[in-house]
Chain A
Amino acid sequence: KNEVEQSPQNLTAQEGEFITINCSYSVGISALHWLQQHPGGGIVSLFMLSSGKKKHGRLIATINIQEKHSSLHITASHPRDSAVYICAVRSKGGSEKLVFGKGMKLTVNP
């Protein structure tokens, strides 16, 4: 079992839809990152969180430490949101390395 699992693996939505991307992890963590990767490789950090909820524009990230689960929500989705969304966790215990999920490919159609 992978330490970080994302669901769904692929999602196609219509412009304007509310989208939820899920991430479950199996280890104790000190932080969780949500990342966006566009075709061509560039990765942008969207959120880094260790508890609660963060909001930036149309994006909302939540984390439930007890349930080892995080969600990324996109409100009023737009075709430019089409990308791969990756969840990555930093394990407790001082290790600096991130463990990444495989990512979820989102396609938003106009």
Chain B
Amino acid sequence: GAGVSQSPRYKVAKRGQDVALRCDPISGHVSLFWYQQALGQGPEFLTYFQNEAQLDKSGLPSDRFFAERPEGSVSTLKIQRTQQEDSAVYLCASSLVGGTSVGELFFGEGSRLTVL
């Protein structure tokens, strides 16, 4: 596709439910990032992939959060046993380059998760 695509755009989950959020980066982009944005705040880093390798997961808030990018393209962010504090917009971004190069970031529209 032309841009970064995320689905679902909106997800309402009951507390304790598992959710999966999908990110389709721009074709050929090496780097993929997940960010969490709480209401009224700037995005906070969750995790980073270079191709299929998860090089940095230091931002994942707990072991209930898990991300994968098995074939180096589509990525899934999974949140197990959701809690109310997980309510946020989850943003995915991709970049053509990786490693020590600095590339422009392209963001998806985000997935807004509301946990009741």
Cβ contact of A44, chosen from B35, B55, B98, B107, cutoff 8 A: B107
Cβ contact of A96, chosen from B43, B56, B106, B107, cutoff 8 A: B56
Does B98 contact A96, Cβ atoms closer than 8 Å?
yes
Given contacts A97-B56, A101-B42, contact A45 B31 (CB under 8 A): no
Is A83 part of the binding interface, using a Cβ–Cβ cutoff of 8 Å?
no
Is B71 part of the binding interface, using a Cβ–Cβ cutoff of 8 Å?
no
Residues of A within 8 A of B55 (CB): 96
Given contacts A96-B50, A96-B56, A96-B98, contact A45 B45 (CB under 8 A): no
Main secondary structure of the interface of A (DSSP, over half): strand
Q: How many A residues, CB 8 Å from partner?
A: 26
Is B29 part of the binding interface, using a Cβ–Cβ cutoff of 8 Å?
no
Which residue among B35, B56, B105 has the maximum number of chain A CB atoms within 10 Å of its CB?
A: B105
Does A30 contact B102, Cβ atoms closer than 8 Å?
yes
Does B109 contact A40, Cβ atoms closer than 8 Å?
yes
Residues of B within 8 A of A40 (CB): 109
Residues of B within 8 A of A43 (CB): 43, 91, 93, 107, 110
Residues of B within 8 A of A (CB): 31, 33, 35, 37, 40-45, 48, 50, 55-56, 58-59, 89, 91, 93, 98, 100, 102-107, 109-110, 112
